[in-house]
Amino acid sequence: MAANVFPFRDARAAPDPVLEAGPVAHGPLPVPLVLDNGSFQVRAGWACPGQDPGPEPRLQFRAVCARGRGGARGGAGPQVGNALGSLEPLRWMLRSPFDRNVPVNLELQELLLDYSFQHLVGWVGLEGCVDHPIVLTEAVCNPLYSRQMMSELLFECYRIPKVAYGIDSLFSFYYNKPRNSMCSGLIISSGYQCTHILPILEGRLDAKNCKRINLGGSQTAGYLQRLLQLKYPGHLAAITLSRMEEILHEHSYIAEDYVEELHKWRCPDYYENNVHKMQLPFSSKLLGSTLTSEEKQERRQQQLRRLQELNARRREEKLQLDQERLDRLLYVQELLEDGQMDQFHKALIELNMDSPEELQSYIQKLSAAVEQAKQKILQAEVNLEVDVVDSKPETPDLEQLEPSLEDVESMNDFDPLFSEETPGVEKPVTTVQPVFNLAAYHQLFVGTERIRAPEIIFQPSLIGEEQAGIAETLQYILDRYPKDIQEMLVQNVFLTGGNTMYPGMKARMEKELLEMRPFQSSFQVQLASNPVLDAWYGARDWALDHLDDNEVWITRKEYEEKGGEYLKEHCASNIYVPIRLPKQASRSSDAQASSKGSAAGGGGAGEQA
């Protein structure tokens, strides 16, 4: 780009078509359906067996919903994901089933699953079911309530045969590790809402030492938006979250040494060579200066005429609907006059009316409304004609007034106010206009903001968060293990998640580990081959490897016997902690002890007597 100028793409999502599953998915054995249920994006696709299990997930959409205004009255219902198109006009209406990274809203989660199954399986209607095993991702240390809600939704609403739950970052780790190996390591997973650091010992999650940082891509985009809005208060509305996410994905990077990088930006040459100028959309015309008074008046007349036509069209549509309803009511009244009582009562029930008197009253009101609407339409047409006729002779009237002003004796008093030189005020505007660069005015100079926004996951204090960053949390986790286990864990530090895709992320983690580890000790940092999609790829490969393993799948029978919170553990799952209810047992034992004590007290009193 010329002089580091980058236009905003403002990508608009296209609605997803209903995809054909293909003959492999409808074979003799049910093919698993893999759902990566992320708080930013949902990814769904088939785990087809064979040499080529298929490319990336066939369905990817944002995990947001928006309800239409007329959904309850037969209008547009709720829209999900890519069906929304551009998110910014609907930002205030968007709803997500997630609280942080945990799904808590059952109704909105059902909308996301409906959208996925309708586009992949063709499941439509309340009587349909999904006859495929489901592999579903969940949050680290997922609350039992959330898993119970999800299991109830899958088994009761969609009637699936079986389901398996796993953690997205562990699936990504499973996809990138060597086959059939029990690896140990540290997973740093940074997503849209939070960042997790997960220790893995011999291929299994050590849930007791997992830590979460409540910072991710959402907080980074919000911080960048505040920085640029403070810097450019004249473009508040144009600095949207979608554009901030675009800047983060394509123009931001992680500084290996944050303070040293800030000192580099103080150099004017470095700033000029590395600043990214984001071009906002703008109009090439300055309406306030280029339009004359006649053009403004003509534009007002056009807008008024367009508004009148729109109102007239709306009146005609309403009149047509009222006329059709009135004809229907008059037809029902004719049934009563003809003595067809059975048909009359049926029609009366369909109209939700109780008596002929109510029907007659409604007919009178509707007739009056129809007549009033017709009169309004006629009056609007007359007013429109009058306006058109009256708008033409404006200039002759002004010319007729000029002689009357010349006859006034005190005309000299008005000369300073109405001098002939006043029209010349508009001339400097045309000379100044080429000097003013309108495109440069609509540019956002993104300099140090390129590194300040992603830095919050290492320094949460930049946005006022009283949390430890990634490096401090990593050091805290390592200190909880003996030195030999620490040495084993740092040999495989694995980075995954969409918020780790910044350039320089791997070099920054190597620098942080070099500072915290002992002198001349070794470590290794690995970045996922595709931090965004490797979770889905790993879940797909896991489903194919364990398709016939009943030790990892939760069947419908087990769901009914053990409850929705039940979980079967495997290499990519959470640790199952069943619900324990010791209070009821303690109450019953206390009641038995008190009854025994009262009986013993009664016996002792009898002996004393």
Work out whether strand 65-66 and strand 195-201 pair parallel, antiparallel, or are unpaired. Answer: unpaired
Residue type, 432: V
Residue 211 has pLDDT above 70, yes or no: yes
**CATH 3.40.50.300 at 23-179+534-562, yes or no:** no
pLDDT tens for 535-594 read 999 999 999 999 888 899 999 999 999 999 999 999 999 999 887 766 554 455 555 555
Phi, psi of 101 (to 5 degrees): -115, 15
What is the pLDDT at residue 398? 40
pLDDT tens for 579-596 read 776 655 445 555 555 555
Rounded distance, CA 37 to CA 521, Å?
A: 39
Confidence of residue 602 (pLDDT cuts 50, 70, 90): very low
DSSP conformational letter for 463: G
Q: Are 568 and 551 in contact (CB under 8 A)?
A: yes
Lowest average pLDDT, out of 278-287, 516-525, 527-536, goes to 278-287
pLDDT tens for 106-144 read 999 999 999 999 888 776 544 568 889 999 999 999 999
Which two three-digit tokens encode residue 321? 């609907």
Residue 248 has pLDDT above 70, yes or no: yes
Closest C-alpha to 383, from 286, 467, 326, 305: 305
Rounded distance, CA 113 to CA 453, Å?
A: 33
Residue 474 has pLDDT above 60, yes or no: yes
What is the pLDDT at residue 270? 96
Bridge partners of 102?
A: 99
pLDDT tens for 509-525 read 999 999 999 998 999 99
Work out whether strand 102-103 and strand 554-555 pair parallel, antiparallel, or are unpaired. Answer: unpaired
pLDDT tens for 44-62 read 998 887 555 556 788 999 9
Residue 599 has pLDDT above 50, yes or no: no
Residue 81 has pLDDT above 50, yes or no: yes
Q: Do domains 23-179+534-562 and 217-280+444-457 have the same CATH topology?
A: no
Rounded distance, CA 89 to CA 109, Å?
A: 23
What is the pLDDT at residue 56? 76
Closest C-alpha to 451, from 218, 274, 268: 274
Estimate to the nearest angstrom the gap between the alpha carbon of 58 and the chain centroid: 19
Residue 417 has pLDDT above 90, yes or no: no
Phi, psi of 188 (to 5 degrees): -110, 105
What is the pLDDT at residue 1? 53
DSSP conformational letter for 280: P
Q: Which helix (H) or strand (E) holds 525?
A: strand 525-527
Residue 145 has pLDDT above 80, yes or no: yes
Q: Are 46 and 135 in contact (CB under 8 A)?
A: no
Residue 431 has pLDDT above 50, yes or no: no
pTM: 0.72
What is the pLDDT at residue 7? 94
Which two three-digit tokens encode residue 443? 């540019």
Q: Residue written as tokens 């002890």? A: 593
Q: What percent of the chain has pLDDT over 90?
A: 52
Q: Exposed, middle or buried: residue 366 (CB in 10 Å: 0-12, 13-18, 19+)?
A: middle
Closest C-alpha to 524, from 503, 504, 538, 506: 506
What is the pLDDT at residue 128? 66
Rounded distance, CA 286 to CA 224, Å?
A: 30
Higher pLDDT, 457 or 602: 457
Residue 486 has pLDDT above 60, yes or no: yes
State the chain's mean pLDDT as an integer. 83
Number of other CB atoms surrounding residue 484 within 10 Å: 8
Q: What is the DSSP secondary-structure string of 196-251?
A: EEEEEETTEE-GGG-EEES--HHHHHHHHHHHHHHH-GGGTTT--HHHHHHHHHHH
Closest C-alpha to 217, from 191, 196, 241: 191
Rounded distance, CA 395 to CA 402, Å?
A: 11
* 3-state SS, residue 435: coil
In the chain, what are the domain boundaries? 23-179+534-562, 217-280+444-457, 299-378
Domain 217-280+444-457 belongs to what architecture? Alpha-Beta Complex (3.90)
Q: What share of the chain is helix, strand, coil (3-state, %, to 5)?
A: 50, 10, 35
